[in-house]
Amino acid sequence: MRFLDGEVTPDERAAIKGRLEASSELRREFAIFRSIKEDFRDLSFAPQDGDSVWDRIRTRITMPVGWGLAIAGFVGWAGYAAWTFVQSPSAIVVKLTTGAVVIGMLVLLAQVIWDRYREYGSDPYRNVHR
């Protein structure tokens, strides 16, 4: 392998060439190792995005269905909670302050989601995987 990588001295190189000329078995093994080295040179061990069929299925089917169900469930739950809140016999002041807290938290959450959405396109670490 050192001979293939060019890491031998001139004397060692001459000795190895002499042995290669003398032995057909050694030449065959040398050809195999050279071929393996050339094959490995072109390989990349970094994961490729979207290589798996399952990644494409998850991206095109599973994720949209999951998001759709989650959003529909949240809208239904929020509607029921709002209806129950309005129908409760609590004082108007309690309803207004509770509503202000909930609306404030939703506005903050929406702002965080919007900021992440805008940043996603220019995020330099988006394609970095461990």
Please spell the DSSP secondary structure of 22-33, one letter per residue. H-HHHHHHHHHH
Q: From the CB of residue 114, how many other CB atoms can be counted at a distance below 10 Å?
A: 10
Strand blocks (E) in 38-130: none
**What is the radius of gyration, based on Cα positions, of the chain?**
33
pTM attached to this predicted model:
0.40
Residue 129 identity (one-letter amino acid): H
What is the per-residue pLDDT across 86-121, written as a single tens digit (0 to 9) for each?
Answer: 898 888 888 889 889 989 999 999 999 999 888 887
Q: How confident is the model over 5-18, as a mean pLDDT?
A: 91
